[in-house]
């Protein structure tokens, strides 16, 4: 497993990303973070983990495989999340100008290293 | 297994792109092997989503499985791809008759007999539909007609429109169809929230704030209906998404895309109190799923306004 903080800092170099958090999937608590000032890390962690868990149950019920990536699109940005194994979730907050495609690729790669 | 079916199965195995799946699916359906027919048709549809005959085959199989709502959607899709496909017109004519919509039934059956005047079975069915329509307009029926119409609208799955009808199965017979409806089935017309949209009865699910299904449908990859259980699990997603976006000062949420290992899901909110789930396979890129979901949202909003 790579150093989580280094991976999060590398993610922060993607244009438009306001930061990222590694979250415990079970309780939504922060494991590691690299966020810009003004972004509420605890809120990001708790809400994204909760959303991911809820969607996991829904996709399982629908007979689908587990979610590998989710994007909550909002008026002025997005929340991106990808599971890192069964216990962790990697979450990033993106501004409206973010390169979400690149962020997605970087997050999937980082998640693979974090398992 | 008959030699024909064995031969076609072998041919399809040797060449999965072969259109022999149309004949194989139909042969299996006629033999009553509906699960096998369903799988063959579904696989064929995944390879040829633009082939009207594939949707037509799928609809016939769905009818035999007692799923008129899904059959309706498939025939509508078939006609969008090929407006002149007679077997789809016959199928829709029959479904409309079952739902008590005689005018629409007549329109589809009349077209079928016009294109295929030698089809005596369909001609007889059309005659019967016209006779029923005339009877419902007759003065002596005036006193009871409103009650009958009300009964048909409130419970169109009953035989209010076609009690003990003996001629309609001939529609099926002449078209090579063999309908076997669940008499308690709901009207495919009234259920068609997403009428005209591909996958309206499977892969589009409209849910209210309490996690109850408002329209559409969802089946798992094995064909099991999971709509109600998934709807229940989605109950709080809309509020949670809104809360997340608000707390992070991102404004109103617009959509939630979920990539799974074997499919793409998209959640959107056609109205404040509803949630729309769109599910597609991995062969449909997420961007297209989102666009499709937008169209479905428009259809859902329109349906909600009509329902109110």
Does the structure show a pLDDT above 90 at B268?
Answer: yes
Nearest CA in chain A to B250: A76
* Domain shared by B55 and B174, yes or no: yes
Distance, in Å, from the CA atom of B296 to the CA atom of B216, rounded to the nearest integer, reads 10
Q: Is A53 on the interface with B (CB under 8 A)?
A: no
B243-261 tens-digit pLDDT: 889 888 899 999 999 999 8
Distance, in Å, from the CA atom of B20 to the CA atom of B201, rounded to the nearest integer, reads 26
Is B171 within the bounds of a domain? Answer: yes
State which of B166, B186, B206 marks the end of a domain: B186
Does the structure show a pLDDT above 60 at B22?
Answer: yes
pLDDT of residue B1: 62
**What is the gyration radius of the CA atoms in chain A, in angstroms?**
13
Is B20 within the bounds of a domain? Answer: no
* Domain shared by B270 and B221, yes or no: yes
* Domain shared by B55 and B180, yes or no: yes
Is B26 within the bounds of a domain? Answer: no
* Domain shared by B227 and B154, yes or no: no
* Domain shared by B159 and B264, yes or no: no
Would you state the torsion angle of the CA atoms of residues A41, A45, A46, A50, taken in this order, to the nearest 10 degrees?
Answer: 150
Task: Please tell me the total count of domains within chain B.
Answer: 2
Domain of B145 in residue numbering reads as 50-186
Sign of CA dihedral B3, B6, B7, B8: positive
Q: Say if the Cβ atoms of B265 and A64 lie within 8 Å.
A: yes
Is B14 within the bounds of a domain? Answer: no
Instruction: Compare CB distances from A64 to B245, B253, B262 and report the shortest one's residue.
Output: B262
Structure confidence at residue B199 as a pLDDT band (50, 70, 90) = low
Task: Give B208's strand partners.
Answer: B274
List of chain A residues whose C-beta atoms are within 8 Å of the C-beta of residue B249: 76
Is B13 within the bounds of a domain? Answer: no
Question: Beta B204-208 vs B213-217: how paired, if at all?
Answer: antiparallel
Q: What is the CATH number of the domain that holds B56?
A: 1.25.40.10
pLDDT of residue B138: 67
A50-89 tens-digit pLDDT: 889 989 999 999 999 999 999 999 999 999 999 998 899 9
Let me know: does B246 contact B240? Beta carbons within 8 Å.
no
Is B59 within the bounds of a domain? Answer: yes
Nearest CA in chain A to B242: A74
What is the model's pTM?
Answer: 0.56
Q: What is the CATH number of the domain that holds B258?
A: 3.30.450.30
Distance, in Å, from the CA atom of A69 to the CA atom of A82, rounded to the nearest integer, reads 5
Q: Is A39 on the interface with B (CB under 8 A)?
A: yes
Q: What is the CATH number of the domain that holds A37?
A: 3.30.450.30
Task: Give B260's strand partners.
Answer: A67, B263
Give helix then strand counts, H and E, for chain B. 14, 5
Query: What is the per-residue burial (b if ≥16 Cβ within 10 Å, else e) of A74-86?
Result: beebbbbbbbbee
Task: Please tell me the total count of domains within chain A.
Answer: 1
Domain of A75 in residue numbering reads as 4-114
Distance, in Å, from the CA atom of B156 to the CA atom of B147, rounded to the nearest integer, reads 13
Question: Beta B204-208 vs B274-280: how paired, if at all?
Answer: antiparallel
Q: Is B221 on the interface with A (CB under 8 A)?
A: yes
**What is the gyration radius of the CA atoms in chain B, in angstroms?**
21
Work out the average pLDDT over B169-184: 34
* Domain shared by B238 and B280, yes or no: yes
* Domain shared by B180 and B197, yes or no: no
């Amino acid at each position: 497993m790579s150093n989580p903080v280094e991976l999060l800092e590398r993610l922060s170099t993607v244009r438009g990303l306001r930061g990222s958090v590694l979250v415990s999937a079970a309780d939504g608590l922060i494991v590691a973070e690299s966020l810009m000032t003004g972004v509420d890390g605890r809120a990001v962690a708790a809400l994204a983990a909760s959303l991911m868990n809820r969607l996991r149950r829904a996709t399982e019920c629908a007979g689908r495989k587990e979610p590998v990536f989710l994007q909550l699109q909002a008026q002025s940005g997005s929340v991106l999340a990808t599971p890192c194994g069964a216990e962790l979730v990697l979450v990033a907050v993106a501004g409206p100008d973010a390169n979400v495609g690149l962020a997605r690729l970087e997050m999937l790669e980082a998640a693979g290293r974090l398992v | 297994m008959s030699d024909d079916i064995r031969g076609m199965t072998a041919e399809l195995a040797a060449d999965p792109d072969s259109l022999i799946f149309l004949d194989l699916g139909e042969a299996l359906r006629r033999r009553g092997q509906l699960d096998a027919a369903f799988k063959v048709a579904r696989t064929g549809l995944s390879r040829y989503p633009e082939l009207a005959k594939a949707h037509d085959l799928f609809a016939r199989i769905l009818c035999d499985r007692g799923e008129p709502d899904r059959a309706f959607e498939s025939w509508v899709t078939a006609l969008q791809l090929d407006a002149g496909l007679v077997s789809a017109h016959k199928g829709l004519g029959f479904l409309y008759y079952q739902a008590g919509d005689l005018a629409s039934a007549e329109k589809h059956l009349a077209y079928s007999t016009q294109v295929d005047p030698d089809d005596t079975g369909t001609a007889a069915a059309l005659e019967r539909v016209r006779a029923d329509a005339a009877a419902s307009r007759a003065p002596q029926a005036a006193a009871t007609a409103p009650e009958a119409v009300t009964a048909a609208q409130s419970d169109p799955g009953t035989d209010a429109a076609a009690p003990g009808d003996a001629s309609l199965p001939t529609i099926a017979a002449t078209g090579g169809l063999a309908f076997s409806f669940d008499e308690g089935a709901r009207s495919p017309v009234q259920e068609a929230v997403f009428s005209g949209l591909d996958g309206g009865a499977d892969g589009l699910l409209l849910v209210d704030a309490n996690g109850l299904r408002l329209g559409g449908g969802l089946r798992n990859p094995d064909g099991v209906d999971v709509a109600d259980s998934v709807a229940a699990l989605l109950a709080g997603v809309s509020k949670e998404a809104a809360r997340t976006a608000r707390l992070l000062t991102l404004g109103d949420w617009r959509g939630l895309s979920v990539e799974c290992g074997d499919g793409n899901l998209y959640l959107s909110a056609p109205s404040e109190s509803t949630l729309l789930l769109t599910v597609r396979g991995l062969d449909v890129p997420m961007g297209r799923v989102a666009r499709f979901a937008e169209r479905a949202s428009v259809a859902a909003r329109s349906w909600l306004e009509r329902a109110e």
